[in-house]
Amino acid sequence: MITKRIIPCLDVKNGRVVKGVNFEGLNDVSDPVALAKHYSDIGADELVFYDITASAEGRKLFTDILCRVAETIFIPLTVGGGINTVDDFERVLKCGADKVSVNSGAIRNPNLIREAAKRYGNQCVVLSADVKRVNGQFRVFARGGRDDTGMEAIAWIRKGVENGAGEVVLNSIDTDGVKNGFDLEMLDAVCNAVNVPVIASGGAGCADHFTQLFQTLPKVDAGLAASIFHFGEVKIPDLKKQLSERGIPMRLL
């Protein structure tokens, strides 16, 4: 049986992981390579690297780091941030990324998903959507959740999957940072709309939220979080052990 995945997300700016991180035995807490290795060693099932740099120099630095991460860890690596063209796919895949996540780039260029899926296969293309409730509707937001696109989210995600996205990361802006649990209602709507893996993001505050996620919504494939892992509020080995004890299939080291 396929296991549920636990995925830490690392935001990288100018070559450093943002959000102060504190780990025992990790001297440089903002070194992306060291942190990636740490997560891989403790049993993360996949890593997401998000490039939040705006400058060209920052982007160059990011790709250099990606190559070093891919040399060091041997679990699936997803890369997002600043992916606007098929050339951007090429740039990060060449560094050793396995999957590429598109968000605003797919909103600006409706053909991006289709072109990338055709060239690299659906399994390589991840649609990441930032979604927020507006007037009782699930709405897609662009530019890191800043701009309301006016588009209804479920239809947008369904279309992305039809165009070739092989996975969906759903980030609920409503629950993000609140630490009160994942957005089960929004996730349920997405799970019922598509038949590709759905990764839940936004809202996890403790281990129980992951149990609740996988028990309530068996169709969700993975839980993604950043700060609770970085700050050590939830420790991945403990989390996976707890989930496994509650009957949720987990890869244990």
- Rounded Cα–Cα distance for residues 169 and 45 (Å): 15
Annotated active-site residue 174? The verdict is no
Q: How far apart are the first and last CA of the chain?
A: 16
Contacting range for another protein; rule: CB under 8 A; set: 10-18, 93-101, 177-185, 225-233: 93-101
| Token pair for 213 | 């996620």
Please tell me whether residue 162 binds another protein under the rule CB under 8 A: no
Catalytic residue list contains 51: no
Strands (E) across 81-177 are located at 99-102, 125-134, 137-142, 147-152, 167-172
Looking at the Cβ atoms of 235 and 251, the one nearer to another protein is 251
Residue 181's CB is within 10 A of a number of other CB atoms, namely 18
Give me the catalytic one of 31, 51, 88, 130.
130
In sequence order, the β-bridge partners of residue 223 are 6, 200
Q: Does 221 bind another protein (CB under 8 A)?
A: yes
Residue whose entry in the numeric block shows the structure tokens 């994942």: 182
- CB under 8 A: which stretch of 9-17, 63-71, 174-182, 238-246 binds another protein? 63-71
CB of 135 to another protein, least distance (A): 32
Q: Which residues bind another protein (CB under 8 A)?
A: 1-3, 5, 40, 45, 67, 70-72, 74-76, 93-96, 98, 121-123, 166-167, 195-197, 221, 251, 253
